[in-house]
Copies of this chain bind each other. A is one copy, B any other.
Amino acid sequence: MSLIVQKYGGSSVADAESIKRVAKRIVEARRAGNDVVVAVSAMGDTTDELMDLANEVTPIQAPRELDMLLSSGERISMALLAMAIKSLGHDARSFTGSQAGMITDSVHGAARIVDVTPVRLREALDEGAVVIVAGFQGFSRESRDITTLGRGGSDTTAVALAAALDADVCEIYTDVDGVFTSDPRIVTKAHKLDRITSEEMLELAGSGAKVLHIRAVEYARRHGVTLHVRSSFNNSEGTIVYDPERLPEGGAVEESVIAGVAVDLGQVKITVVGVPDVPGAAAKIFKIVARTNANVDMIVQNVSAAATGRTDISFTVPKSDGEKALTALSDAQESLGFESLQYDDQIGKLSLVGAAMRSAAGISARLFEALYEAGINIEMISTSEIRISVVTRADSVNAAARAVHTAFDLDGDDDAVVYAGTGR
């Protein structure tokens, strides 16, 4: 008998009908002879509606109370889902984060899981029940308060349960068929990947692919949890996200060179112009940026102009961090001694990801050539062991993605099907 953890997002349980549909799917997995544990998000827009209500009451919400408020959303969906399963003749029990033993630190709104003690879940499974767990929420032993995990929280709940219960697989149900070689709304020839390594998935998620949250992928990788990303709207096989060192049955996997092309339009570029080219100048700049908690992604430093002894330093940060980084630098202009600041929110980032990149030669040359042939100018470049990212103008990044997708032989035979759903 296998143990399967399934995760359903808000769009999969948006109303009573959807809940009944998901219940049937869970019962099918149970009837096939599996133990089933389900992590569920709040229904549809519940979390946004609760947030609106909180904003009506006060613009500044006490974090402890906000977590208490928002965590009520999953209690509604999980209780309804358990009822729906029971009405189909199978035992089911719902558990809050704290009942499920989802122990976190006390950082409200962005708590990290520190331990999972699924005693009650094991008992319920032993008694033959389907277990439903509230996603997104936990419990701090220290403060004895309810916490929430922040963005991507329900994915993380599912992965943490799979790790703690030593599940055979963690199925992440979503409104797309799996992980694609690129965003099908941009690259119509994108095709679904049957498999991808967790390392590649991590780079794709970090480069703008939205199908899985980076934090859940990290957790899965660290704990050796195999993920299966698939659609809740059909029965097709999705994409297996696996650790090549813990190969799924079937032995060695033929790895393709490139897993996918990701596009990210959520970054801005800040350029510090005329920085004195002396040792420690860059350190000073990024110390000031770090103090604002801005998440710096790419950094490029120009070659110094010999005549002036000055250089330019450009970096990218998420749009939401742009303004505070800019303000902090502007405030420190005198001590840093730079000439001016430039702010550019019309950039796009394209990332090419593939685990085999580390052994295969000529990948970057092929990438730059494809962009050159498509007439696209590269403004910044950064690389990791299995990723190359380039920054282009925002309005040419989609064309860039299509050109690169074709150049690396990723195009499928048919156009990908794009769903109307919102993606969780």
List residues of A whose CB falls within 8 A of some B CB. Answer: 15-16, 19-20, 50, 53-54, 56-58, 60-62, 64-66, 68-69, 71-73, 75-76, 78-80, 82-84, 86-87, 92-94, 96, 99, 120, 144
> 26 interchain pairs (CB within 8 A)?
A16-B53, A16-B57, A19-B57, A53-B80, A54-B80, A57-B84, A57-B87, A58-B86, A60-B87, A62-B82, A62-B83, A62-B86, A62-B92, A65-B82, A65-B86, A66-B83, A68-B75, A68-B94, A69-B75, A69-B79, A71-B75, A72-B75, A72-B76, A72-B79, A99-B144, A120-B144
Instruction: Pick the residue among B57, B66, B72, B79 that contacts A20 (CB under 8 A).
Output: B57
| CA A75 to CA B71, docked complex, whole Å | 9
Closest residue of chain B to A52, judged by CB?
B16
| CA A113 to CA B99, docked complex, whole Å | 21
In the complex the two chains form, is A53's CB within 8 Å of B65's CB?
A: no
In the complex the two chains form, is A16's CB within 8 Å of B75's CB?
A: no
In the complex the two chains form, is A53's CB within 8 Å of B76's CB?
A: yes
- Extra contacts, 9 of them, besides A64-B93, A65-B93, A68-B79 (Cβ < 8 A), are A15-B56, A20-B57, A53-B76, A54-B83, A62-B92, A65-B82, A66-B83, A72-B73, A99-B144
In the complex the two chains form, is B57's CB within 8 Å of A83's CB?
A: yes
Closest residue of chain B to A134, judged by CB?
B68
A121 to chain B, nearest CB (A): 12
A15 to chain B, nearest CB (A): 8
Closest residue of chain B to A99, judged by CB?
B144
Instruction: Pick the residue among B61, B62, B64, B94 that contacts A65 (CB under 8 A).
Output: B94
| CA A73 to CA B144, docked complex, whole Å | 21
Chain B residues near A53: list those with CB within 8 A: 16, 76, 80
Chain B residues near A84: list those with CB within 8 A: 57-58
| CA A308 to CA B166, docked complex, whole Å | 78
Asked, given contacts A64-B93, A144-B99, whether A57 binds B75 with beta carbons under 8 Å apart, the answer is: no
| CA A92 to CA B57, docked complex, whole Å | 15
| CA A318 to CA B84, docked complex, whole Å | 32
A67 to chain B, nearest CB (A): 8
In the complex the two chains form, is A83's CB within 8 Å of B58's CB?
A: yes
A72 to chain B, nearest CB (A): 4
A87 to chain B, nearest CB (A): 4
Q: Which of A69, A86, A144 has the most CB of B within 10 A?
A: A69
A130 to chain B, nearest CB (A): 12
A64 to chain B, nearest CB (A): 7
Chain B residues near A82: list those with CB within 8 A: 62, 65, 68
Q: Which of A15, A50, A68, A69 has the most CB of B within 10 A?
A: A68
Closest residue of chain B to A43, judged by CB?
B53
Chain B residues near A93: list those with CB within 8 A: 64-65
| CA A83 to CA B86, docked complex, whole Å | 36
A135 to chain B, nearest CB (A): 15
A314 to chain B, nearest CB (A): 41
| CA A7 to CA B68, docked complex, whole Å | 20
Chain B residues near A83: list those with CB within 8 A: 54, 57-58, 61-62, 65-66, 69
Chain B residues near A64: list those with CB within 8 A: 93
A306 to chain B, nearest CB (A): 58
Instruction: Pick the residue among B69, B71, B76, B87 that contacts A69 (CB under 8 A).
Output: B76
Chain B residues near A80: list those with CB within 8 A: 53-54, 57, 65, 69
In the complex the two chains form, is B65's CB within 8 Å of A50's CB?
A: no
A68 to chain B, nearest CB (A): 4
Closest residue of chain B to A67, judged by CB?
B79
Chain B residues near A120: list those with CB within 8 A: 144
A27 to chain B, nearest CB (A): 13
| CA A60 to CA B80, docked complex, whole Å | 11
